[in-house]
Structure 1
């Protein structure tokens, strides 16, 4: 079904299409989907919702869900967007003509594939409010109503998460969640880490200076609060890069040693990550976490929370240190910073940089091609005796 081309990359004899749930955020999921389109650059690229303003210049997608009412629902977001995806993906006529389909995101799981089509589904995360983050409902109004809604979403996905031939997830953490919350067999799941452009970062970008940095969207699930509270107790300079709904509140809370620099472009980000003496990350049960890997690729030690995938991006004492939120089961962030100040880390900047290579774009490309090749070879439905007559 596949053969080696002159550049060492496999070429699939079957026709293949890539389909992403929608360009709604310009986030990590969108960037991964665009990289899928680049890996299979001859394949058509479909999206449930297209936003030309965020598409890179080399990406041209085709919108899959159309119609005035459906588009209005996609624009509104929330439950109406979910219903539009539910209706729009089930048949998805343009996708049905391809031998192989590679989808990105949860919403394409509503798709009902033809018998002979090989389907590989890349999953960035399970429905988090209905699974690993369900305890967040305890602090919300109408808790019981919300729990009923979350149950309905779980039931909906329970009936739509077993149809692909093979699943791909972005970390071992998400693999665990797909098994636990969606009931998918481990044998049907492969891990391929997201494509981080590690080659764009280097310890040589700029000399190390005397400050710490964190970089993310300033939203509740990144828990910048915890970082601000810790550095309010420390006599260390912290730069917070990024923007979001929490910024004004966080600025009021922060001490004079904390500076908010707002959104930074790629050039400024590379410089900041290279200059910082350590990168601080506190995201809640992160599925993967691209910013910490970018920091490591810049040769910068990582001080990260002992949760989610973040805990596995740190080799304790080698390329950084892990902290806990409460300090009940390990050091707090304050204690971790103090330890870093007194002991540093064992690895050199170049060793930290090399560690990040396992998350590179090249590693992603090889991994995703391997998975597609495997899925195609395993989904052959012809009778065993039929090959004798070919």
Structure 2
């Protein structure tokens, strides 16, 4: 290992580590190793060495218990019976399940009418995978306030991860966030406000006693598309980052960002240029290094370690990193708030309400709609002109 200034060091896997200061203390609870990572696994048909990068990433996941992934897009434009064989999102989730991540939540796939109406190609690209059981979960898609016509949509995903402990068990709520970049740097994004309202609504519904909302442990992590590195005032965060933090202070007793809270500056989570070749329009080069990926926690979440993970690729590969973002990793545990304060809340069902969309999980089938699947299947068969109308009609009856 190589020593670095300010208490940081880089390990053999390209991780920048920071000792977590006052938060680095034992609580007696189970430690949860978490990674938030914009993986840049684009929809089917986009170049970018997806299969090779997934294979390399899978060799690293034994270090984690919960994965909070962004930009792992489904091949939503294809029928599900085709996705089974060509969808990188499905391939990654299947491989993670084989490696012990038996519980997962994925953004709701858009229906074919939604794909056509909004000219989108995929879902929100959000995945939460866990070695521990997941209770309540939900998905939310941001409204199109700006950038109408983008090929992918953005949103939030949450999962209640049930962490085993010496007593009855703890639950930590993980919110996976991917915000749209905002061109107007002087105003807070409408998506930030939507995100805050969504989180506050979910926490309020999951907490049986309103007085205990501030004691509820949860994490808000992901790609916020808000650069925290201030080029004009070294060591100071940008106004957009400060506005983001201020917006988040109104929920859960206030949130802190684990990396900035430790080293008091923003190390970059995006390099100055792409390090793997691609023709995809979803990528863009940046002239300066940026900090866009954050990991916020409530006061009742103890951070034992936090680090930036670069995920350096094998030197034989034609790219340097596994993604155009770096990951943010942390080892967490739920703080002991006292026997009377703990477990005062219970999980309330929020599915079927306007708070969250239904999320795909290990007990569900990610088919957007069997009727629409049938329409696509029949159209494909008609195009091929390989079957008679009577055969097609019989197939439709059997499908329903």
Relative CO higher for 1 or 2, CA cutoff 8 Å, sep ≥ 6?
2
Please identify which structure carries the higher helix content: 1
TM-score calculated relative to the size of structure 2: 0.31
Please identify which structure carries the higher strand content: 2
TM-score calculated relative to the size of structure 1: 0.31
